[in-house]
């Protein structure tokens, strides 16, 4: 697991560093991120103490017109447990990058309220430039963590941002945690997901009545003696 986390952080550093200064925008960073995650988690074995799981990640770009009602990126997560249970859920991510002003200038409380009303389990995906951001992990001790990409639950972020001036919205990082943690210790285990079947099917079929993200990740987490659960996507999704 430690090796996977370190590899993720190396990828995030590479993407964000190489995007500066001319390609420092959410769409470019998100495209690079989805490509790199597909490459890293192509039937990737995640090793623990005496056992392991496999993560298989496919990435797609929306061919149609995106309105990003519930975020820029959606992840369809399917998790199989050794005892036979299966979890299928959605993670919705709204990407924001910081500016030279040291704030997330495109962050808008009205937009976050709209996303939250349709996807209450959605998250902000925060891209930070230069040397990234170092923040306390808060658990299990006083250690800090440096990363270029952070996650904050929109449900919590919108409450903090209502009390914050726009120029100070970088304070949202105080209620954020590393994206590498979000992947490896949260959504790969079924945490922080939206389990409403109608959202899952809306994205799969490209209906776009509920969610219409620019990018899609289809993620299977399973054991060696199991097979990934195939999902038949609409042709609106182009593999990247």
pLDDT score at 66: 67
Q: What is the pTM of this model?
A: 0.95
102 vs 2, 22, 111, 132, 159, CA distance in Å?
Answer: 31, 17, 20, 12, 21
Mean pLDDT of 101-119: 94
Residue 149 contacts residue 17 (beta carbons within 8 Å): no
| Distance (Å, whole) CA 207 – CA 198 | 10
Could you read off the pLDDT of 65-105 as tens digits, one per residue?
766 678 999 999 999 999 999 999 999 999 999 999 999 99
3-state secondary structure of 44: strand
Q: Return the H-helix or E-strand segment holding 78.
A: strand 73-80
Q: 149 φ, ψ to 5°?
A: -130, 125
How many other β-carbons are positioned within 10 Å of the β-carbon of residue 230?
9
| Distance (Å, whole) CA 186 – CA 45 | 17
pLDDT score at 59: 98
| Distance (Å, whole) CA 217 – CA 137 | 26
Comparing 68-72, 127-131, 162-166, the range with the smallest average pLDDT is 68-72
Name residue 104's beta-bridge partners: none
Please list the alpha-helical segments (H only) found in the chain.
2-19, 26-40, 109-118, 154-161, 179-181, 197-205
120 token code pair: 């209450």
Could you read off the pLDDT of 39-62 as tens digits, one per residue?
999 999 999 888 999 999 999 999
| Structural domains counted in the chain | 1
pLDDT band at 132 (very low <50, low <70, confident <90, very high): confident
105 vs 68, 154, 232, CA distance in Å?
Answer: 18, 16, 38
Full residue range of the structural domain in which residue 175 is found: 2-239
Q: Which of 147, 63, 167 is nearest to 107 (CA)?
A: 167
Residue 181 contacts residue 9 (beta carbons within 8 Å): no
**Radius of gyration, CA atoms only, the chain:** 17
């Amino acid at each position: 697991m430690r090796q996977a986390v370190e590899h993720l952080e190396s990828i995030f550093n590479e993407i964000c560093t190489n995007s500066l200064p001319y390609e420092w925008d959410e769409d470019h960073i998100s495209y690079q991120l989805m490509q790199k995650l597909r490459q890293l988690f192509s039937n990737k074995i995640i090793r623990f103490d005496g056992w392991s799981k496999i993560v298989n990640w496919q990435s797609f770009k929306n061919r149609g017109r995106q309105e990003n009602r519930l975020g820029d990126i959606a992840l369809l997560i399917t998790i199989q447990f050794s005892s036979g249970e299966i979890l299928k859920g959605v993670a919705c991510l709204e990407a924001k990058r910081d500016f030279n002003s040291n704030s997330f200038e495109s962050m808008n409380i009205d937009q976050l309220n709209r996303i939250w009303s349709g996807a209450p389990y959605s998250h902000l995906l925060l891209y930070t430039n230069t040397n990234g951001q170092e923040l306390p992990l808060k658990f299990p001790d006083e250690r800090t963590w440096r990363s270029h990409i952070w996650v904050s639950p929109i449900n919590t972020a919108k409450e903090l941002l209502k009390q914050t001036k726009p120029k100070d919205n970088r304070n949202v990082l105080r209620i954020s945690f590393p994206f590498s943690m979000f992947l490896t210790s949260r959504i790969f285990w079924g945490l922080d997901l939206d389990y409403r079947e109608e959202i899952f099917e809306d994205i799969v079929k490209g209906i776009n009545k509920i969610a219409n993200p620019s990018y899609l990740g289809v993620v299977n987490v399973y054991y060696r003696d199991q097979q990934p659960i195939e999902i038949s996507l609409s042709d609106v999704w182009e593999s990247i």
